[in-house]
Amino acid sequence: MLTRRQFVSQALLLAGALGAAACTPAASPAPAKPADAKPAADAKPAADAKPATDAKPAAADAKPASAAPAAAPNAAGKPQYKLDLGGYKGPAPTGQNIKLRFMRQSFNPVTEAAIKAWNAEWAAAYPNIAIEEEPVPYGDLNQKLQTYVAAGDAPDAMMGKGDFIQAYVFNGIVLNLSEFLTDEYINDIPPAMRDQQSVNGKLYGMPWEQGQVMLYFNKDLFEKAGVATPPETDDLTRGWTWDQIADAWTKLNASINPGGDGPTYTLASSAYGNGGPGSSYWYEGIYTRSLGDPNAPKDSSAYKTFAGVSSDGLTATGYVNTPEAVKGMLLYQRIFKEKFSPSVATPNQFEDGKAATRFSSINLANRFANPDSAPKFKWGATPVPRGNVVFNHISGDSPIIYARTKYPAETAAYLGFIHNDKNRMAFHTNWGSMPARTSLFDKMAGYKEFPRSLAVALTKVGYAPPVTPGYLEYFSVMNTAIKDIALGAAVEARLNKAAKEIDDLLVQYKK
């Protein structure tokens, strides 16, 4: 098992990249920008923080340790709550005076106002349970979480990331939420996201929102190049294949970037992570995993390409270096070899009309809907290109309960409250990101209209990143390999090297 000092050190290396990978801060009316997030690499290493390795972590499956319920059960024997606590099913919150600490992302003023309103409602119902929030800039979330864990004095609830759930559980820093939540609530979480947040069938993260990848295009540049645009549809079967988009990129490049040196490019520089090639496997992994097949025999390279890692999460060789993965990375390398996209991070190319296409989430469409940030060109959106399957990684921020909290039931009750339908809809309306509950798609306005309907469709076919307790290491190694490939490394040899590097790093997780 990793020590928490090791966990902290590894997580910090990835915090900046993952910070903007899945849940780019959303849209209207005054969106925060991922590029504004402070890279973790600039942060003070948490290794300097006081380690708490001598302290025994609380069991992740700890039972509720709350004081006696404040309200007596009703005639049906069920606890009575003073508020709509959403999917919470635990004991009634205590009547004793306590304080809960919650570290979360800071939002724009209108969203903060919505949060202030729900906290006022909570305070009126449970004045004895004070909520002490700690809003921090989005890019600092992971650093703060890891630093708190290293110090052994973390807030009762913290905004974590779905990508890290396996690592959180392996290191014993999160509480099992399943015993506090109804099956109805848990089953309302989209399956891929639910799987990502779970270990051995137990839910450890409470999804806050979710991301997806779609392809945006500049209609003016397509028209200038005389290239047909992809279909604007939420019917995923009508989206283009990788071969079709590569053909379009080739034609576009001949028209708008004939010398290959810009200033206008065919594909905008990746804005995921810290930007540029190799910045986020969450995005670039699509080029390989989409060429796999989840329905193929499990001993086939097609299935292994899709899975990305062995079923026990401990082997990468034969999964990240399959023939299908090599093919996907050859296309990815072609993007830079033929100068469809710059090989260095270049912010806001698409937004500034300097790129014909861009991969992003529904957040970009929400941002464009704001008159203050609407682009000066006609734009459209289409499904992410498909290989054997339409593939995109889904992920998102997820509040977690610290395993050492003194108040697991009350913390779960508060999370249930801020995740109830009313509060979730208020949040997503103001912030613009996608809900992480299927039932909310039908309850919220606009999700049956394009392009939000496309985001919903993509979410339903989304997949979690490879499930392994060593995802921190996996992510880091693959990012480095992908960047090397973008810059010209021999594809098959580089993937073979990456597979061995990951295997060697995953040995520490074998019992």
33-51: per-residue pLDDT in tens? Answer: 333 333 233 333 233 333 3
Rounded-to-integer distance, Cα 258 and Cα 337, Å? 14
pLDDT of 185 higher than 90:
yes
Per-residue pLDDT tens for 192-211? 889 889 999 999 999 999 88
Per-residue pLDDT tens for 117-130? 999 999 999 999 99
Per-residue pLDDT tens for 383-429? 999 999 999 888 788 999 999 999 999 999 999 999 999 999 999 88
**Which is nearest to 234 in space by CA: 390, 358, 432?**
390
Backbone torsions φ then ψ of 333, nearest 5 degrees: -65, -35
Instruction: Please say whether the beta carbons of 345 and 486 come within 8 A.
Output: no
Q: What is the pTM of this model?
A: 0.78
Per-residue pLDDT tens for 293-348? 999 999 999 999 999 999 999 999 999 999 999 999 999 999 999 999 999 999 99
| pLDDT: which is higher, 509 or 246 | 246
Query: What's the rounded mean pLDDT across residues 10-36?
Result: 40
Alpha helix (H) residue ranges in 297-352:
301-307, 323-337
Rounded-to-integer distance, Cα 134 and Cα 145, Å? 11
Query: What's the rounded mean pLDDT across residues 111-116?
Result: 95
Name 210's bridge partners.
434
Rounded-to-integer distance, Cα 500 and Cα 315, Å? 9
pLDDT at 40: 30
**Which is nearest to 476 in space by CA: 318, 305, 278?**
278
pLDDT of 247 higher than 70:
yes
4-19 helix and 141-151 helix, angle to the nearest 10 degrees: 170
Amino acid identity at 108: N
pLDDT at 46: 31
* Cα-based angle 35, 220, 367 (whole degrees, multiple of 5): 35
User: What confidence category does residue 260 fall into, taking pLDDT thresholds of 50, 70 and 90?
Assistant: confident
Average pLDDT, the chain: 86
pLDDT of 30 higher than 60:
no
- Termini Cα distance of the chain: 9
Query: What's the rounded mean pLDDT across residues 46-67?
Result: 37
Rounded-to-integer distance, Cα 170 and Cα 471, Å? 11
Per-residue pLDDT tens for 348-357? 999 999 999 9
Q: Is the dihedral of CA 297, 299, 301, 307 positive or negative?
A: positive
